[in-house]
Each structure stands twice: as structure tokens, then as C-alpha cells.
Chain A
Amino acid sequence: MNRIHVLVLAMVLAAASGCSDDKKAAASGKVSVVIGSVAPLTGGIAHLGKDNENGARLAIEEANAAGAKLDGKDVVFDLISFDDQADPKVGTTVAQKLVDTKVAGVVGHLNSGVTIPASAVYNGASPPIPMITGSATNPKVTEQGFKNVFRVVGRDDQQGPAIANYLAATVKPKLAAVIDDATAYGEGLANEVEKTLTAAGVKVLPRERGSDKTTDWKAVLTKVKGSSPDAVFYGGMDATGGPLLRQGRELGLKAIFSFGDGACTDNMKQLAGEASDGLLCSQAGIPPQAASKKFLDAYKKRFNIDPILYSPFTYDATNLLIEAMKKANSADPAKYLPELQKIDHAGATGRIVFDAKGDRSDAEMTIFTMKAGKLLPIAIIKSGKTVAYEDFVAQAKK
């Protein structure tokens, strides 16, 4: 009851602010182009949602300050921001609301689980409304054959090769064990890692599996320990990865442990305790501190805080929409969509080019290590090349 109440209120407020902007624009003799931002603004990850919205807002304010003309008329870009509560049901509702308000483009959503059903709503509009997510990494987002769906971060299935190559190059294991939690995510990731490790000449032990509820890894790890591998990769979430890591160390397993992004979280410190030290893990995208200096400074100046996670990506996503409109000289989705597909943009997160599916070509992956309970970025992997994190940041600052 309460939730619905808040949602309705949020919608009314957002719609009201959209209206007032329209009037303002009309009064100044400019045409309004509305861009929608959707992210969870309430709930457990509201801070991440606000960060996403801030990225989009910054891009729009900069574009308006610079001034823009489409089809001979002065335009002003307006942002309307909706709360999808990280809930697929709410997500499709607000997506429909955005379609009904005839927004020119959408930046969002934050979660893969919300983005996938919402993308169908944008695709179903006529003409389909371009949508760029700055944070949804599930491969399925761009595997639905929707021409209007884009993403500026990496995919989960680019992550396996990235972490495996990093392992092969730096740890140089002779023998590796790959374990997964028998879920679509964990097994998929583990398969990619195994393939890449084998290709790099690393011998991989027969796959061991648990489940997404397994907390007793002792039998599996004892068996693994019998072959004394130099590296262990686990495809799964932090709730199972933490006990796995801790029990591995208790059994005296000396191997380097590595996880994918599901277990690349700050929770590992609590879940695995001291055993988490030295863990290697990967995440899609780059840490916000590695974004361009221009963006970091502008964000800090405008919002008085540092970017939290995905705002460099939503900033780039918004700029992509604006740039494509300028190139097509129109805010009509049907007209500027082709421009978006062939765009080549130098953004806060580096150069952005889309492939045929709408995925970013050469998306970055970041490798982290856990040191004294903190995740520290150590390397960025882009188009198969590994760059030390410091060098990458130094380059971005130039």
C-alpha cells in the first residue's frame, strides 16, 4: 500500500516537473527534447540509482549550457527521472509511462533483471525508443534482437576470458581447479574461464560443482587439494564463495583463488574473514575513479560528492543520445537511431563504438584484489590487453 503510494507520488512529481520544464522551454522559444532516466531511487541500492541519475543529469546540463540546434530550431534537453525500485514489475510500468510521455531516448535501467523486461516495452513503442544501459551486464539484455537496445558496459561473458587471461599471465598456474555453483551465471562463467585457461596452456582439473546454497565445500576442496592446483576459480555468488574461500584456507590449500563479479563484493571480507586477503576477482566496466578527469571534476563540482559506481557510464550514455540526435539533426527516434548504431564517441569511460548487437566493442573489465578487507583495482583489461590500473588512470587523466 505504502509502496504504491510513494510510487504514485513520485510519478506525479516527476510528471509535474517535466511539465513545468516544458512550459519553461516553450516560454523561451526553444523546443524541448525529453530524455528519460530510470534507476532505483528507493530501496537498498537507491544510492547507486541516484548516482546513475546524476550522471545523466550532468550530461544534459552540459549539453544545454553549450546550446544545441536541431533542424534549425534551438532545443533544450530535459531530463525526467523515474524510480524503478529495482523491481521488474515497477520497471515495466515506468517504461510504459516513459513511452507514453514520448521521450526521445532512455538512459537505464540499472539492474539486468529490470532492463530485460523494460527493453521490450521501449522496443514495442512506435517508433522504438533508443535505450542505453550503463550498468546491466547480463548478456541477455542485448541478445533479444532489439535494434533500439544498447549498453556501454561489458557483458558477463566477456568477464570469464578476462579473469582467466589475467590468471594465466600473472599467476602462471600449471594446474587450475574450476568450481561452479551449477547456476546459469556460475556455470557459464566457469565454462568461459576453463576454455580460456585451457587455451592458454593451463591444465584444468575435472569440474567440481556445488549449488547456489552450498556452504559445506570441505569434501570438494579436499578432493581439489589432493591434486594441489596453483589456482582455483569459482563461478558463483559471494554467499557461497565466502565459505568456499575460508574452508579452502582452513584445509591448507595454497592456491590463488579467483572469483567473478558475483563474488567480487565488499561482503567477502565478512564472509571469508582473513582468508579473503589476496583474492583476485573481476568486474565488468571500470571503477569510477578511472573515468576522465574532466568528468570527475565536473561531477564533484555539480553534486559535491564523488561518483559512486556507474555514473560515468550513464553520463556517456546520455551524451551518446545527444550526439546521435545532433548528427541526425533530429530528436525523432526513427531518424537518429541509425546514427546511434554507427556512433564513434570519445566519452568519460573511453572510446565507445557499438557492435551489431548494441554491445560496446572492446568493453573494459577490471581485475581487483582484496587487501586488508578492501577491494583494490589492479588491472584493466581492454581488447585482450592488460593495463596496470595506475597506468590506465594516468592515461585517463591526460
Chain B
Amino acid sequence: MDIFIQQLINGLTLGAVYAVVALGYTMVYGIIQLINFAHGEVVMVGAMVAYSVIGVLAPAGLPPLAVVLIATGCAIPVCMLIGYAMERAAYRPLRGAPRLAPLITAIGISIILQHVAMMIWSRNPLAFPQIIKVESYSIGGATITSVQIAIIAISILMMAGLAALVYRTKLGTAMRATAHNPQVAGLMGIDANRIIALTFVIGAALAAVAGVMVASYYGIAHYTMGSQLGLKAFCAAVLGGIGNVPGAMLGGVLLGVVEALGAGYIGDLTGNVFGSNYQDVFAFIVLIGVLVLRPSGLLGERVGDRA
């Protein structure tokens, strides 16, 4: 039983990160029906910027918590800037173009970001400094670390904040209006381009925080870390119903738990024919399953006529 609880805790932590990253995919898709495949790289850039800032500040003798907060505070605007720049440079000029064109530029941006990161931060895996002491707590035989608690708590806070933004503020209303029908929203005095740019910027800010969380959780940062994470988060967004904000949250958490439990028990269930190295496969099995059985995702209703 304690193993089951432990896998559940592992899965929830992972799922919280997926959920935050999935939000970035789903918000952009909801508003311009574009899958921003460069979103995973924004997560990576967030982690890398924080890595550099911590490297500079850690020896200065500031309290560790302050250093991590400043590092995150530096990563967020950098990622926001990248989010804005890529919308301006790669997606806005293609607003009226066929669907495939912005998808290809998205992949191009992703490759560019990866290689620029490789040139700046080298191709070696970087040890992400864990300057805050990690405490472990015991729950019914399973352990949960302070980092895991922080990740889950911060993710819930960010998701709640985003939900409030989308459903309670004027900006959120404008975003939903643009998503619903950009032309009519424009007639109502909404600057659609500004709203779209803001959506990218908000998604990038969430990605920056996710990058810092994931790097401090595993203690490692690498210029390719964003691509796999991005794909998983994309699966999570589809699982929840792409374009649907609560769906991305649900999809992320579910996917994390499925992965952890799957990797933990696949060996026992198949008599060790399949091992835990199939962990990464679960996300894609889920993706295929959803697309075949329920293309609109768990919470998506309106997606059918859009996809």
C-alpha cells in the first residue's frame, strides 16, 4: 500500500507540472487553434535562465529561498519576452495562412530555441543547484519532499490564479470572446492581436515557473529537456480537451498519475515482459486512446467543430 501511495505522490507532482505546461498549449489553441510546439522550449529556457541566475547569486550569501525567488523572477520576464517575440515573428504574419504553415514555424522556433540554448549553456547536462535544503516527510510509509509539496502547492495556486483571470476579469472575458469569434470580438472593440499576444505571454510565464520547478525537482537541466516535457503536456492538454482550461489541469494531473502508476506496475502486470522503461509510452497510448475514443477530450465539448 505504501508503494501505491508513493507512486501516487510521484504522479501527482509530475502531473502538477504537466498541468501547468499544458495550460500554455491549451490557451493558445483555444484562442487561435494553433499548437505551439515551441512551448516546451520556453519551459527549458526558464530552467536555464534560473540556473544561470542561481549560479551568480548563490555564492553572494543571500538566503537560499530569496535566491530561488529572484531566479524565478528573472526567468519569468525572459520567457514572457520569448513568448511575445515568437508570436510576433513566427505566428502573427501567418494569421491568415493555412493551418500547416504556423505549425511548421512552431517546429522551427522550437529547433532554434534549442540550439541557441545549446550554444549558450553547452550540450552538457547541468546540475541544477538545489540550494534549499530538501526535507522529507513521511505519510503512511511513503515519503513526500518539501520540493514536491512546493511544486503541487505552486501549481494549484497558479492554476487557480489563471482560472480567476480567465473567468473573473475583463481581460479574461476578452480572451474568451476572442477565442469564441475573433471577428465579432474585434467589432466589440477588442484588440484581438493584443489579446493573442497576451495569451502567449501568460502561457510563457507559467512555462518559466514550470521550468524552474522541474529543474529543481530533478536537479538537472539540459537544452533538450523541453521537448519531451512539451510533448507530454500536449498529450495532457488533448486528454483534457484541447482549448479547455480546466481540462488541461485535469488532463495533466491524470497523465502524471497514469505514468507513475503505469511505470510502477507494468512489470508486475506483464510478468516483466514490459519494464519501467515503457514509462514514456503511456502518455502517447493515452493520446491515441483519446483521439480514437473521445476526440474532444474529457472536458472538451466545442472542439469537434474546430479540429
Binding site for B on A (CB under 8 A): 182, 206-211, 213-216, 218-220, 222-223, 225-226, 238-239, 242-243, 246-247, 250-252, 267, 270-273
The residue that B276 contacts in the complex, of A223, A243, A267, A270, with Cβ under 8 A, is A223
Nearest CB in chain A to that of B268: its residue: A223
B166, CB-defined interface residue at 8 Å = no
Q: 8 Å CB contacts to A: which residues of B250-281?
A: 259-260, 262-265, 267, 272, 275-277, 279-280
Interface size on B, residues (CB 8 A): 35
Are A251 and B6 in contact (CB-based, < 8 A)?
yes
Q: Which of B136, B218, B228, B279 contacts A219 (CB 8 A)?
A: B279
CA distance A365 to B238 in the complex (A): 51
Q: Is the CB of A219 within 8 A of B264?
A: yes
Stretch of B21-29, B33-41, B179-187, B219-227 with 4 or more beta carbons under 8 angstroms from chain A: B219-227
Taking the closest CB of chain A, its distance from the CB of B290, in whole angstroms, is: 22
User: Which of B145, B225, B279 has the most A CB atoms < 10 Å from its CB?
Assistant: B279
A-B contacts besides A211-B280, A218-B260, A219-B10, 9 pairs, CB < 8 Å:
A207-B275, A208-B275, A208-B276, A215-B220, A216-B218, A220-B279, A250-B143, A250-B145, A272-B219
A213-B228, A219-B276 known; A271-B125 Cβ under 8 A: yes
Q: A206 near B220 (CB under 8 angstroms)?
A: no
- In the assembled complex, which residues on chain B have CB atoms less than 8 Å from the CB atom of A251? 6, 143
Which of A223, A246, A271, A272 has the most B CB atoms < 10 Å from its CB? A223
B153 within 8 A of A: no
B196 at the interface (CB under 8 A from A): no
Give chain A residues whose Cβ lies under 8 Å from the Cβ of B124. 239
- Would you call B14 an interface residue if the criterion is a C-beta within 8 Å of the partner chain's C-beta atoms? yes
Q: Are B6 and A250 neighbours in the complex by a CB distance under 8 Å?
A: no
**What are 11 residue pairs bridging A and B, where the CB atoms are less than 8 Å apart in the complex?**
A208-B277, A213-B224, A215-B225, A220-B276, A222-B264, A238-B125, A243-B218, A250-B143, A251-B6, A270-B127, A271-B127
- Taking each of B2, B127, B265, which has the highest tally of chain A beta carbons within 10 Å of its own beta carbon? B127
> How far is it, in angstroms, between the C-alpha of A215 and the C-alpha of B259 when the chains are bound?
14
CB distance from A139 to the nearest CB of B (A): 24
- Residues of B near A252 (CB, < 8 A) are 136, 143
* A271–B6 CB distance below 8 A: no
Determine whether the beta carbon of A218 is less than 8 Å from that of B10: yes
Residue B52 lies at the interface, judged by CB distance under 8 Å to chain A: no
Given A219-B264, A242-B220, CB of A250 within 8 Å of CB of B136: yes
Selected from B6, B145, B220, the residue in CB contact (under 8 A) with A239 is: B220
B residues apposed to A, CB below 8 Å:
2-3, 6-7, 10-11, 14, 124-125, 127, 130, 134, 136, 143, 145, 218-220, 222, 224-225, 228, 259-260, 262-265, 267, 272, 275-277, 279-280
- A-chain residues with CB within 8 Å of residue B220 when the two chains form the complex: 215, 239, 242-243, 271
| Chain A nearest Cβ from B269, distance in angstroms | 12
Contacts of B145 in A (CB 8 A): 250
In whole angstroms, how far apart are the Cα atoms of A213 and B280 in the complex? 11
List of A residues within 8 angstroms of B277 by Cβ: 182, 208-211, 214
* Bound CA span A243–B220, Å: 7
Q: In the bound complex, do residue A220 and residue B263 qualify as a contact, i.e. CB atoms below 8 Å apart?
A: yes
Centre residue among B219, B262, B264 by max chain A CB count within 10 A: B219
Q: How many residue pairs between the two chains, A and B, have CB atoms under 8 Å in the bound complex?
A: 93
Question: A216 to chain B: which residues have CB within 8 Å?
Answer: 14, 218, 279
CA distance A208 to B265 in the complex (A): 12
Contact of A226 with B219 in the complex, beta carbons under 8 Å: no
Question: Which residue in chain B gives the minimum CB-CB distance to A269?
Answer: B127
The 9 tightest CB contacts between A and B, nearest first, are A270-B127, A209-B277, A219-B263, A239-B125, A218-B10, A226-B3, A215-B218, A222-B6, A206-B272
Complex Cα distance A348/B224, Å?
Answer: 44
What residue of chain A has the Cβ atom nearest to residue B279's Cβ? Answer: A219
Which A residues are CB-close (under 8 A) to B3? 222-223, 225-226
CA–CA, A314 to B143, complex, Å? 50
> Which A residues are in CB contact (< 8 Å) with B265?
223
- In the complex, what's the smallest C-beta–C-beta distance from B48 to chain A, in angstroms? 15
A220 contacts across to B, CB distance below 8 A: 263, 276, 279
Interface contact B228-A210, CB-CB below 8 Å: no
Beyond A209-B277, A213-B224, A218-B260, whether A267 also contacts B127 by CB under 8 A is yes
Q: Which of the listed residues B125, B145, B265 has the most CB atoms from chain A within 10 Å of its own CB?
A: B125
- Residue of A whose beta carbon sits closest to that of B130: A273
Nearest residue in B to A182 (C-beta to C-beta)?
A: B277
Q: Bound state CA distance, A182 and B276, in angstroms?
A: 11
- Please give, as numbers and ranges, the residues of chain B lying within 8 Å of A207 by CB-CB distance: 272, 275
| Given A219-B260, A239-B125, A243-B219, A208:B130 Cβ within 8 A | no
Q: Which residues of A are found within 8 Å of B11, using beta-carbon distances?
A: 219
A219:B7 contact, CB within 8 angstroms: yes
Instruction: Tell whether A223 pairs with B219 under 8 Å between CB atoms, given A242-B127, A250-B136, A250-B145.
Output: no
Most buried by B among A207, A216, A242, A250: A216
Is the CB–CB distance between A225 and B218 below 8 Å? no
**In the complex, which residues of chain B have a beta carbon less than 8 angstroms from the beta carbon of A271?**
125, 127, 219-220
A209 & B260 in contact (Cβ 8 Å cutoff): no
Residues of A with C-beta under 8 A to B136: 250, 252
> Which residues of A have CB within 8 Å of B279?
210, 216, 219-220
Q: How far is the CA of A242 from the CA of B262 in the complex (A)?
A: 23
CB <8 Å contact, B276 and A210: yes
B219-A273 in contact (CB<8A): yes
Q: Closest residue of chain B to A270, judged by CB?
A: B127
Q: Measured between C-beta atoms, what is the minimum distance from B266 to chain A in Å? A: 10
CB-defined contacts of A206 to chain B, threshold 8 Å:
267, 272, 275
**How far is B275's CA from A207's CA once the two chains are assembled, in angstroms?**
8
Question: How far is B134's CA from A273's CA once the two chains are assembled, in angstroms?
Answer: 11
CA distance A246 to B218 in the complex (A): 8
Bound: A243/B125 CA distance, A: 11
Task: Give the distance in Å from the alpha carbon of A251 to the alpha carbon of B225 in the complex.
Answer: 23
Q: Once bound together, how far apart are the Cα atoms of A216 and B215, in whole Å? A: 11
Check A222–B7 contact: CB distance below 8 A. yes
How far, in whole Å, are A239 and B127 apart by their CA atoms in the complex? 9
